[in-house]
Amino acid sequence: MTGARKAREERGGRGGRGERGERGERRAWGERGERLAASPDGPVAAAALLTLLAAVDTVLRTDPGDRLTAALLLAFGATAPVALLRTHPGPAAVLATAANTPLAALLGAPVAAGVAAQALLLHRLARHGSRRGRALAVLLVLPLAGYAAGDPGTAAGGRLGDTGRLLAVAAAVLLAAATATGLARRARSTAAAHGAVERAIAHTLYEHAARGERARIARELHDVVAHHISMISVQAETARLTTPGLPDEGARRLRDIGDTARTALTEMRRLLGVLREDAGADPAERRPPPGLAQLNELLDDARDAAGSAVRLIVSGSVRPLGTGVELTAYRIVQEALTNARRHAPGAAVDVELHYADTALRLRIRDNGPGAHGGAGRGGAHGGGHGLTGMRERAAAVGGSLRGGPAAGGGFLLEATLPTQPRAPGDAPGNENVNENENASENASENGAAA
């Protein structure tokens, strides 16, 4: 039983290898034909070879005389158009068909070289031609098929014999097969192209959906997580500064909590930048974070956008500050100018920067509607912007911010951002300002505002 099964498997294996070998051989011949048709001199060489073969076949099958001359002319007309295989396959196929059928009738059987030439042209026309070209290729099969079926006789007055009829039918079948093969390959290539387009569209839609999802995640992180992390930092600093009799260990732990929250907020902002870049931002647009050096450009843009007066007043010992402090100051001024443009269009705005020894104090005031505008500015922008967002920015670097109607009209924003140098072991954002010093600074600023 086992020996019989092994024998069957071996025969099946040999049969499978034989079928694969035949398919591979047909594929190799097809590739050779494609290379021949694609080469610049291939069609001309094929036409010359087929013309020579047709002439030899005609001479061997025809007696000398006028009939031989006519047969040679028809043989030339049936094979020479192959030279136009790449450039004009349609007219070449019509010429070959118009000569090949009368030649078969004249000689009593089709000429093999003429049938091969016509098959090449019909295959090319069916595969690479337009819709009309493909329909023409199908129609050009009919003349030789009609000749084989109609039995019109030969020019010598005889009838088609069994051999001649068999050859004519075989030639018609060959032409039909060549045309059908061309149409099938054209259909496969078209389907492959459509499949590639569909895959590209599906990939694009997938990438678009993925970018949209990344953008949604970034928005949710910004609107929810960033707000809560900022609140952790603010509450830790508030508890440390306002809890009476707090032990040193408790104050240290609260300070560590604030430092950890600010570090997490910085890392999350970096992650949000990556997510937004993946969601469609151009990496070439990435640049260092803005600071106070770019404040004049911001004010110029505000003047151009609002058409109102914007002044910058700087006092104190101007010096470079930490990147986080400068970025926070820049964003607070940017948000304040945006709020002024929205709630007090046309109002003049004064932006004051005072460089103290241990802090940078900001004072932004406009001469707009004041109390009426102030009522809406706390939530001027959804999603964590407005006064709430500015307070969070200030708290993230250990500072504070307050805003409200100014004495004498308009709206006033005041922010204090600590600039004390950090100890080597401190985490980013671990700037501390003495509570009494803040109180005295706020009091002096309120007096100046009055």
Write the pLDDT tens digit of every residue in 333-386: 988 988 888 888 888 999 999 999 999 999 999 988 764 444 445 443 333 346
Stretch 277-282: mean pLDDT, rounded? 55
Co-location of 123 and 232 in the same domain: no
Task: Answer yes or no: do 361 and 246 share one domain.
Answer: no
What's the pLDDT at 422?
Answer: 43
Q: Is residue 351 one of the residues assigned to a domain?
A: yes
Nearest one of 321, 296, 323, 322 to 311, comparing CA atoms: 296
pLDDT at 353: 95
Q: Are residues 440 and 305 in the same domain?
A: yes
User: Are 272 and 306 part of one and the same domain?
Assistant: no
What is the CATH number for 434?
3.30.565.10
CA distance 98 to 119: 13
* pLDDT confidence bin for 416, thresholds 50/70/90: very high
Q: Residue 316's pLDDT is what? A: 92
State the pLDDT confidence band at 208, using cuts at 50, 70 and 90. confident
* pLDDT at position 327 over 50: yes
Lowest pLDDT segment from 131-145, 219-233, 392-406: 219-233
**Domain finish residue from 249, 264, 282:** 282
Say if residue 132 is in the same domain as residue 235: no
- The residue out of 263, 282, 301 marking a domain boundary is 282
Same domain? For 90 and 168 the reply is yes
Question: Is residue 209 a part of any domain in this protein?
Answer: no
pLDDT value of residue 413: 93
Q: Do 33 and 172 reside in the same domain of the chain?
A: yes
- Does 390 score more than 50 pLDDT? yes
**Domain identity same for 178 and 235:** no
Domain boundary among 264, 282, 300: 282
**Res. 127 pLDDT band, cuts 50 70 90:** confident
Distance CA 310, CA 348 (A): 6
- Per-residue pLDDT for 436 more than 50? no
**Is 206 a domain residue?**
no
pLDDT at 64 over 60: yes
Domain span at 348: 292-449
Give the highest mean pLDDT range of 137-141, 386-390, 446-450. Answer: 137-141
Distance CA 120, CA 140 (A): 12
Mean pLDDT of the chain, nearest integer: 76
Q: In this structure, are 386 and 247 located in the same domain?
A: no
Q: Quick check: 107 pLDDT over 80? A: yes
Is the residue at 208 inside a domain? no
Tell me whether residue 216 is in a domain. no
Q: What is the 3-state secondary structure (H, E, C) of the chain?
A: CHHHHHHHHHHHHHHHHHHHHHHHHHHHHHHHHHHHHHCCCHHHHHHHHHHHHHHHHHHHHCCCCHHHHHHHHHHHHHHHHHHHCCCCHHHHHHHHHHHHHHHHHHHCCCCHHHHHHHHHHHHHHHHHCCHHHHHHHHHCCHHHHHHHHHCCCCCCCCCCCHHHHHHHHHHHHHHHHHHHHHHHHHHHHHHHHHHHHHHHHHHHHHHHHHHHHHHHHHHHHHHHHHHHHHHHHHHHHHHHHHCCCCCHHHHHHHHHHHHHHHHHHHHHHHHHHHHHHHCCCCHHHCCCCCCHHHHHHHHHHHHHHHCCCEEEEEEECCCCCCHHHHHHHHHHHHHHHHHHHHHCCCCCEEEEEEECCCEEEEEEEECCCCHHHHHHHCCCCCCCCHHHHHHHHHHHCCCEEEEEECCCCCEEEEEEEECCCCCCCCCCCCCCCCHHHHHHHHHHHHHHHC
pLDDT of residue 314: 94
pLDDT above 70 covers what percent of the chain? 72
Please give the tally of structural domains in the chain. 3
- Whether residue 444 is found in the same domain as residue 308: yes
Average pLDDT on 207-227 reads 74
**213 within domain boundaries:** no
168 and 44 within one domain: yes
Domain for residue 233, yes or no?
yes
Whether residue 70 lies inside any domain: the answer is: yes
If pLDDT is split at 50, 70 and 90, which confidence band does 424 have? very low
Q: Same structural domain for residues 298 and 394?
A: yes
pLDDT digits (tens, 9 = 90+) for 7-36: 555 655 555 555 555 655 656 655 665 665
**Confidence label for 6 from pLDDT (cuts 50, 70 and 90):** low
